[in-house]
Structures are given as C-alpha cells and as structure tokens.
Structure 1
Amino acid sequence: MPHATQRFAPYPVGRVYQLIEPGPVVLLATSRAGTPNVMTMSWHMMVEFTPPLIACIVSPGDHSFAALKATRDCVIAIPPVELAETVVGIGNCSGAHVDKFARFGLTALPAEKVAAPLIGECFANLECRVVDTRLVNRYSLFVLEVVAAWIDPKREAPRTIHHAGYGRFRVDGEEILIDSRMP
C-alpha cells in the first residue's frame, strides 16, 4: 500500500485555517460608553443549538476586545456579498482611530436586548450576550448566547463571503437538498 506522503503534498500548518473556515465572514458590533464600533470576524462557530451558542475569537489586539469584555454583549451581523469590499475595509482599520460606522456608511440601528447596534446593511443580525469567558485569557475565545435574532425578509437567498486567507474569499453559491434527520 502506498504511503500517504506519496499521494499528498505537504501543506503549511500555518495555513490550515484556510481549509477549515467554518462559516461566513461576519461583522461584530459593540458599543461602549455609547460609542458603537464594528470589526470583521471570520473565526467563529456554532457550539450549541438550544440555547444557540456561538464561540468566537476576538484578539486582545482588536479594539472590540475591551468593549466586549467590559459590556459582555454584541451583535453578530451577517453581510451579503455586495458588502465584501466594505467588510474588508472594516477589517483593515481600527475603531481606536476611526468611526467605522461613519467611514463605511453603515446604519446603526437600536437592538432590543443588547446595547450594541444592529447593522442595517446586513441581512441578519444576532443579538448576543457573553455567557462564558473561561477561555478568553488563554485563547481569546468568547462564548456568546444569541438572545434575539433578526432577518431582512426582503432579501431572498442572500449570498455570503467566506475567508480563504491572504485577501482571498469564496462566495457561497448553489444550494443542494439531501434528506436529513437534523432539525
């Protein structure tokens, strides 16, 4: 039997994340002392259905880290592909120096259960509260509970972008249906 290294080529372990990115690039909105901020985030994953829990990485180097740690709430907004350049622009600057809502023409809308704003240009907004910080100091990993969710019913089948590393993105596309017993 041939050895695996005869069939496969080595791949840099530092780029593995490009193969396994779990979901769409999202915007994480926070608000601290009445000042909203937004960051681009692609390192997140669902960890539970009921209640809906999302784990996400927010680095201490991100301006949003201090706000999320202090306020313990945020909004995860899911942008459509039409906002791809805006999403990258948001990720390429810091809220410590720039009012990103103003710079990128985003509409901050009041949320129902958290202080962070919804983002009007996104097709879905998830109001979240931090429910677990045990892995923040070690891995910058926050566990969030979705406490309210909103979707724009006028947007049919919005397409999302997925980070593939180094300025490359994939756009979701064809939907297939396969019988499943999952809810």
Structure 2
Amino acid sequence: MMQKKPWPLHDVRHWLEPGPVVLISSRWQGRNNIMTLGWHTILEFTPSLIGCMISAGNISFDMIRQSGECVINLPDASMVDIVAKIGNCDGDHIDKFAEFGLTAEKCEHVHASAIAECHGSFECRLYDDALVDNYNFFIFEVVAARVKPEPEWPQTLHYPGGGLFRTDGEVIDRRKLFTKVS
C-alpha cells in the first residue's frame, strides 16, 4: 500500500472542495452582479438550506447582505470560460450579464435575475446571517428551483484552485445499498 505524504494546509481544497462551481446573481438598488463561487454546502433538506462563503471584499457580499436574497445558478462545463472570466473581474464597473452575453431571467420569489444559460437556478433568501460578520458565511433558504430536464446529469465544474477546473465523472449507482430513504 502506498504511504500518504504531507500536503500543504493552504491547499486542502484540492481534495475537499465541496461541490460544483456556481454563479451567484444578485440585485440591489437597481444594480445586478454575478460572481463565481466554489465554497458552498448543503446544510439541511427541509427547509432546503445552503451555506455559502462569500468574501467581504466582493461587491456581491454587500448586495446580498442588503437585499437578503440571491440566485444560485448551476453552469455546466460548456460555460468554463465565462465562469473563469466572471470570477476574475470586478462587478463595480461592468454589467456582467451584458459583458458575457448572459440572459437575465425574471425570478418568481426574488428580485435578482437567474441566468438562462445555466442548467439550474435556485432562488434564495437569507435564512440566517449569524456567521456573516465573523466568517463571511451566509445561510440561504432555497425558495424556488428550476432545472432543465436534460441532461439529467450535466457535466459540472469543480475548482481545486490555481486556475484549474475539474469536471465530474460518471454516475455510479449504488441505490440498492441505501436502506434509508432521503
């Protein structure tokens, strides 16, 4: 058996990155913004709660803090260049919908726009902000969800750092091993 070797602590996300990269769209005082986010986690199933770490240095931080809402959009691998470019530009001076040719979709329950080109869009309201001041950690409740029916498993992006993206692999079915319904 191969021995494990030490790994730099600043790079543990290489192994533990939690899920697909998403695009967070927000709206406040007539301004729209989109940011790329890789630090999120499912916290609860009912109500549907998602935790997101959003840097206080990001314009989206203030927009979401003030509005109390956002849309979590799920891009697929075909959008990798747009995802990378959105994550590397400042929303203070540009309209990212226009800059990157994205279509703003009206939402039912929040003022922020969804991104039509994304596979799924999840309208969110701020559920708990107790960890925002100390950790920049927002807890959102998903209040509406819309997902394209096909493909059932889109190829999503995962960001281990350093400008590299991974995509997810094949689906491995082990439902027969699960005795609890979730």
TM-score (norm 2): 0.94
Percent identity between matched residues is 44
Q: 2: CA distance between counterparts of 1:18 and 1:114?
A: 33
Matching residue of 2:113 = 117
Is residue 2:146 matched to residue 1:150? yes
Is residue 2:131 matched to residue 1:135? yes
Is residue 2:17 matched to residue 1:21? yes
After TM superposition, give the deviation of residue 8 of structure 1 in Å.
Answer: 2.2
Q: Secondary structure at the match of 1:87?
A: helix
Matching residue of 2:168 = 172
Deviations, residues 79-102 of structure 1 (Å, cap 9, x unaligned): 010001100000000111221111
1:93-108 equivalent positions in 2, closer than 5 A: 93-108=89-104
Matching residue of 2:157 = 161
Letter in 1 for 2:70: C
Is residue 2:67 matched to residue 1:33? no
Q: 2: CA distance between counterparts of 1:141 and 1:13?
A: 21
Q: 1: CA distance between counterparts of 2:125 and 2:152?
A: 28
Q: Which runs of 5+ in 1 are unaligned?
A: 1-5
Matching residue of 1:3 = none
Q: 1: CA distance between counterparts of 2:29 and 2:137?
A: 23
1:72-91 equivalent positions in 2, closer than 5 A: 72-91=68-87
After TM superposition, give the deviation of residue 156 of structure 1 in Å.
Answer: 4.1
Deviations, residues 131-180 of structure 1 (Å, cap 9, x unaligned): 11111011000000000000112444311000011011110120011022
Q: Which runs of 5+ in 2 are unaligned?
A: none
Deviations, residues 97-149 of structure 1 (Å, cap 9, x unaligned): 22111110010010000011010000100000001111101100000000000
Aligned Cα root-mean-square deviation (Å): 1.2
After TM superposition, give the deviation of residue 47 of structure 1 in Å.
Answer: 0.4
Is residue 2:64 matched to residue 1:68? yes
Number of equivalenced pairs? 178
Deviations, residues 45-101 of structure 1 (Å, cap 9, x unaligned): 000000110000111100101100000000000001000110000000011122111
